[in-house]
Copies of this chain bind each other. A is one copy, B any other.
């Protein structure tokens, strides 16, 4: 076989040790927060039966699902007319019965249905796994990326919605973010608005237009609304909604006036109010002022969500949303289990990574790094140092002995490249006296230490495993 210069498959990435360390830092922080709120981790397989995934993401989505070719003589039973006509689409189900996970939601729904008799409702789960999409790769968009979903199914209580706001707040604050906004809306408010205008069938057009306020201004939005089938009279009703301003309480008050004739609209407002009441009773009223914003232009997943809708963005760097979610009423209906309500949110791990990078919020050194490199000055010194190395590791300190007596410069370069904070030098003199030279790689300072002093020093100053 010829030696080909190897390359990555398009749209995929390797993760180096330092990148892994940062990614694990994010995932582990999220895991800890999710667990504190009573969420447990599950995992589903990387591939599902193609029939489990097909038809769940719309026609465009179906095209982006990676299909796995059947093994063996996969063409044996393929219909000849599809082959002759080169009907790529029609042939798929005949040569592929499996496909890579496209998101975590459909596999979760499948999981809930298949395990419905063993799980205790409400079922609170989180899932952090890669998904795959045959998107055209571009800056910041990959064909393999991690999703990070937290959901509870089987409980209609708005306590869950309130707690997701706490989850967002705690997770992002723990990661070091200081200024972020958790936007909240409710699908029922959007229904109410369309109802009050008398055009419930235009709810999607309305939301799409209003959503552009930031970009094209009120005049632009009005123009678009007219083009999409609304009248000047409708615009008069919509105006106070589009220009909704003030505190969250003021916004809800205005909405109540406008939607007074719509039961569903008022119910949406009441739901947000109940979420806020939970937060106040949690003792975190300050969150309401600092981080939470009622935003009725928020229309994320309009066809899917049925109650509260969330979206999170950071205000410290320019970046799209770093999370979002909402209440849905029919997660598992596609698999025949009706009326199971749920609410869930997700975290955009790749974007959060970029935000932390840009704000320099990753910890400088973590437990992933070796803490001490012992320089190898040759056979005798090497063997002499082994019991010390053993004891350091026994004490939970990540330590390495350079495996051969390479030039000092090379060994120090190794410590640099691995960002090892301390280096120990054991030469002939040091062996004889059992007093070693410890170098702090950041400050360049050197001190003399005995084995006991070294252990004490690193136990205090190094990060243990």
A residues sitting closer than 8 Å to B (CB atoms) are 1, 3-9, 12-17, 20-21, 24, 32, 35-38, 40-49, 51-52, 55, 63-64, 66-69, 71-76, 78, 83-84, 86-88, 91-92, 95-98, 100, 110-111, 113-115, 118-122, 124-125, 130, 132, 134, 144, 152, 155-157, 159-160, 166, 170, 277-278, 281-284, 333-336, 367-370, 382-384, 386-387, 389-390, 393, 396-401, 403-404, 413-414, 417-418, 465
A100-B68, A159-B401 known; A113 vs B6 contact (CB < 8 Å): yes
User: Which residue of B36, B45, B403 contacts A155 across the interface (Cβ within 8 Å)?
Assistant: B403
By the criterion CB–CB under 8 Å, are A41 and B24 in contact? yes
- Select one of B35, B64, B73, B398 contacting A37, CB under 8 A: B398
Which residue of the partner chain, among B9, B76, B124, B386, contacts A45 with CB atoms under 8 Å? B9
State A222–B67 Cα separation when bound (angstroms): 51
B398 touches A45 (CB 8 A): no
Whether the Cβ atoms of B4 and A335 lie closer than 8 Å is yes
Contact (Cβ within 8 A) B36 A399: yes
Specify which of B38, B367, B368 is in contact with A400 (CB 8 Å cutoff). Answer: B38
Q: Is the CB of A12 within 8 A of B47?
A: yes
Q: Can you report 20 A-B residue pairs in the complex whose CB atoms are below 8 A from each other?
A: A3-B336, A6-B49, A6-B52, A6-B114, A20-B40, A20-B43, A36-B465, A38-B399, A46-B132, A47-B66, A64-B71, A66-B71, A66-B98, A71-B134, A73-B86, A75-B83, A75-B91, A83-B84, A155-B404, A283-B386
Q: In the complex, which residue of chain B has the Cβ closest to the Cβ of A68? A: B66
- A35-B398, A37-B398, A278-B386 given; 17 more Cβ-contact pairs under 8 Å: A3-B336, A6-B52, A9-B97, A15-B42, A15-B43, A16-B115, A36-B398, A37-B393, A47-B132, A47-B144, A63-B71, A75-B83, A83-B83, A121-B414, A157-B403, A159-B382, A283-B387
Number of copies: 2
Of B46, B72, B397, B403, which is within 8 A of A88 by CB?
B72
Name the contact of A334 in the complex, choosing from B1, B97, B114 (C-beta under 8 A).
B1
Query: Are A9 and B43 CB-contacts (below 8 A) given A75-B91, A283-B386, A404-B155?
Result: no
In the bound complex, what is the Cα–Cα distance between A334 and B403 (angstroms)?
Answer: 26
Residue contact A6 to B115, C-beta cutoff 8 Å? no
State A160–B282 Cα separation when bound (angstroms): 54
In the bound complex, how far is the Cα of B69 from the Cα of A396, in angstroms? 47
- Chain B residues contacting A97 (CB-CB under 8 Å) are 9
Q: With a CB–CB cut-off of 8 A, which chain B residues contact A32?
A: 465
Min distance, Cβ A127 to any Cβ of chain B, angstroms: 9
